[in-house]
Amino acid sequence: MTAERDLSRRRLLGLGAAGLSSLTLSGCGRLDFLADEGAARNLMARANGLTYRIQRALAGNALAPEYAETEIRQGQRPNGSRDPDSPAYLALKAKGFADYRLVVDGLVQRPRAFSLAELHNMPSRTQITRHDCVEGWSCIAKWTGTPLSHLLDQVQVLPAARFVVFHCFDDLGNTRSGPALYYESCDMIDARHPQTIAAYGLNGRALPVANGAPLRIRVERALGYKQAKYVHRIELVDSFARLWGGKGGYWEDRGYDWFAGI
Ligand SMILES: Nc1nc2c(c(=O)[nH]1)N[C@H]1C(S)=C(S)[C@@H](COP(=O)(O)O)O[C@H]1N2
Ligand SMILES: [Mo]
């Protein structure tokens, strides 16, 4: 039954995405030039809206597959930013992230800032999942962290909130184009999904810098670029309009699908 449902879902997605395949981007390198390609972006935006509605209708609240310890074959391959050099990040790293705070604010009743020790003392979840990067590689790894739903309960989300935005430390801009801080986002369904965690542990150890220390998001039903690393602020919003390119993520602003479901 599940396999059958999965197959028809993939078929539908295949149809929805067919027009896109020739535009599919190769990966996680820096493709700043794409920001100018208005026509391609509009085409993708229309197809993305369709994909989102189909996926939300068919995927419901299903869990991403989880794996056994024996299926962890290698360390999580670092990709994208691996060693952020922003002054704020370097200062925190120099002190072993003792002064790190995760800010949770925006459309919430009670904005909060959590230390790593506080996060460690909250309920935790550990899951072994597969990370799929659009560059065409996958890694199975064990992630430990605080369920995002728990963090949201601490701040009391206001009814107007529609999306959760993850703000990161790393700047992928250059001096000519100005700053371009990595950011990502998800809807409230993924935010409240049981496998969505703010992860501080990887394969039984503290999350390494290369994989997003001290805190990164795992939103397990989505592609690699949705898994924001180096997160310092979680903001509840009702729209992306105010943020950078307005498309809800660093790669989305450069043409990638926002939902990015797998
Ligand atoms: N802050 C930040 N998060 C990021 C990225 C990045 O460059 N910066 N790259 C993304 C991409 S494309 C992938 S595949 C994964 C890689 O995570 P990993 O380094 O733990 O494998 O992180 C995602 N999250
Ligand atoms: Mo990726």
Q: Per-residue pLDDT tens for 101-142?
A: 999 999 999 999 999 999 999 999 999 999 999 999 999 999
Ligand 1 atom with the smallest distance to the CA of 79 is 19
Residue among 31, 32, 81 to mutate when testing ligand 1 (max atoms within 8 A of CB): 81
Residue nearest to atom 21 of ligand 1 (CA): 78
Cα gap 21→29, rounded to integer Å: 18
**Residue 131 tokens, joined:** 């990370």
* Cα–ligand 2 centroid distance for 200 (angstroms): 19
**Residue 160 tokens, joined:** 């107007």
CATH numbers and ranges of domains, the chain: 3-254 (3.90.420.10)
* Cα–ligand 2 centroid distance for 223 (angstroms): 7
Strands 181-187, 163-171: pairing kind: antiparallel
**Residue 255 tokens, joined:** 């043409």
Spell 231-257 as b/e; 16+ CB within 10 A means b.
Answer: bbbbbbbeebeebbbebbbbbbbbbbb
Residue nearest to atom 16 of ligand 1 (CA): 79
Cα distances (angstroms) measured from residue 182 to each of 186, 221, 256? 14, 20, 14
- Residue 231 bridge partners (DSSP): 168
Ligand 1 neighbours (beta carbon < 6 A): 28, 76-81, 133, 168, 170, 182, 211-212, 224-225, 227-230
Q: Name the residue with tokens 């009391």.
A: 156
Name the residue among 48, 45, 54 with its Cα closest to residue 10: 54
Tell me which residues have their CB within 5 A of the ion that is ligand 2.
28, 133, 224-225
Cα gap 33→36, rounded to integer Å: 6
**Over the stretch 147-200, which tens digit does the pLDDT of each residue have?**
999 999 999 999 999 999 999 999 999 888 899 999 999 999 999 999 999 999
pLDDT band at 57 (very low <50, low <70, confident <90, very high): confident
Residue 257 has a pLDDT of: 93
